[in-house]
Chain A
């Protein structure tokens, strides 16, 4: 073997310098391209802050919307509506999702588990507008009118895959010794799960629920023909109800500057709520300590 030649090409200083240069250059380019994702974020947040902050005042969060042409007014009905619709969605979907997650972690290899996992993935990928149609057929048509409840059903269906997955992942990581220890003391199965396993994984489950809540609280599409929206204060879940995303959509697509202003304010409020819940989830996870990670 021509080792002299080999040594020469392996130790070619120029080639090595070029390779190092190429490496540094690619690093710079990749860093540059990826740092560009900051641009839309900064732009969106800046517009929200600049335009939104001037619309938010006491009236904004306590008053009902005023008709076109009249200055002022607020979106208290949408704030209340969002809270009600999201809360109701949580009530509807968290129990089945958590139980589903427990089922998957307890019977990871059963046939039904494979089917549930498959369904869950399909559900997770289903466009929200399609889920809106589903809720419309399921609830709005039989009731004969739009309602907050139907909106919660739609959002609840969207929430299930998120919470179910979080529950499964969390419970899977709990060491089997823990439940074996409990079971060895003669504790019945359901108590082992409910009193030992679930409380141990509570942090992860709650985190999943909070993250799910941030996802659905910004959802608009499935509410268009379920909760529908309403200019009035309505706390009755059986009737059409406004929500922050709906108000943003309706005002944003209107031709009036006055309404655009309200939409900026509502957007800022919505994003604060979304980021706020997100932060809460993080604080919760880091505070609780111990547990599963």
Chain B
């Protein structure tokens, strides 16, 4: 019996220990990134964020082009993806719960979610980029093809499954009796969506947009492959650029000097902090929404 008591104690200890280890991972990750960024922070301070030049040869590192690239591609992708994600969420949660159309949309979204990022990038590079190049030629703009725009389009396709899943979850948290009440007053499908479902899920939808933004900010491979990898600040979305993630992917293995590496890691640190914050806020809103939705 003593042996059993011992193993029981040991088991509980292991459980708790694992919990502590898992809790430590992001903390350790943060500390690691901070420590590794110290040389860059020391060298540039806050100027790192505002400087336009990124020149490894002269050892000048400014992150502005990448910050701009990340923000512009992510927001553009969000805007492009929004109507689709929103419609998909409406279709799957409210409009056509059954039927072939809903089933097709549902599997399409699931399959899109399963395609690896690198394949999106490859497809974008060989199919989308030439298409954009043709359009640019026709419009008389420099035909880069690889561009902020290409990256945004690929990103948009990639975040649709994620955003629509969250929006759908949020909408399905709305107590069904509220919808029933609306129908019992003679509301049509559309009116019930417009005036009950959507207003009730505003905060949840906002959280979904935030979480999708978090996804888009950190997405690396697909963006790297179609954005053109230029360290100059772009002046319009048809020009090539770079995002924080894509410049890390591109230059990390080539970074020879400590300052170069440290600057790249500082980009990673910024990315980590921003995505962690966005995710935290998004999850918090959804949790509140969950509580509000379930217990009247």
Show the binding face of A for B, using Cβ within 8 Å. Answer: 19-20, 22-23, 26-27, 30-31, 33-38, 40-41, 43-45, 47-48, 96-97, 99-100, 102-104, 106-107, 112-113, 115-116, 118-134, 136-138, 157, 160, 164, 188-190, 193-194, 214, 217-221, 224-225, 228, 245, 248-249, 252-253, 260, 263-264, 267, 270-271, 274-275, 278
Contact = CB atoms under 8 A, between A and B. Distances in A.
A103 B19 contact: yes
B8 interface: yes
B95 A188 contact: no
B248 A133 contact: yes
A221 B225 contact: no
Contacts of B215: 125
25 contacts: A19-B188, A31-B95, A33-B83, A34-B84, A43-B127, A45-B111, A47-B127, A107-B15, A116-B22, A119-B26, A122-B26, A125-B211, A125-B214, A125-B276, A126-B29, A129-B220, A130-B275, A133-B268, A134-B32, A188-B4, A217-B116, A253-B225, A270-B118, A271-B119, A278-B114
Nearest to B245: A129
Contacts of A132: 252
Contact of B116 (A22, A100, A219, A224): A219
Among A130, A224, A252, max chain B CB count under 10 A is at A130
B111 A112 contact: no
A245 B108 CA distance: 22
A103 to B, nearest CB: 4
A270 B224 CA distance: 19
Interface string B204-242: 000000010011011111001100000000000000000
A56 to B, nearest CB: 15
B2 to A, nearest CB: 11
A248 B95 contact: no
Contacts of A219: 116-117
Contacts of B23: 112, 115-116, 118-119
B122 A263 contact: yes
A100 B22 contact: yes
A273 to B, nearest CB: 10
Interface string B102-136: 00110011011011111111110111000000000
Interface in B257-295: 264-265, 268, 271-272, 275-276, 278-280, 283
Given A119-B22, A218-B116, 13 more contacts: A20-B188, A23-B191, A30-B90, A33-B87, A37-B109, A44-B120, A112-B20, A115-B23, A120-B22, A121-B279, A124-B279, A217-B116, A271-B115
Contacts of A34: 84, 87-88, 90-91, 105
Contact of A37 (B88, B211, B220, B248): B88
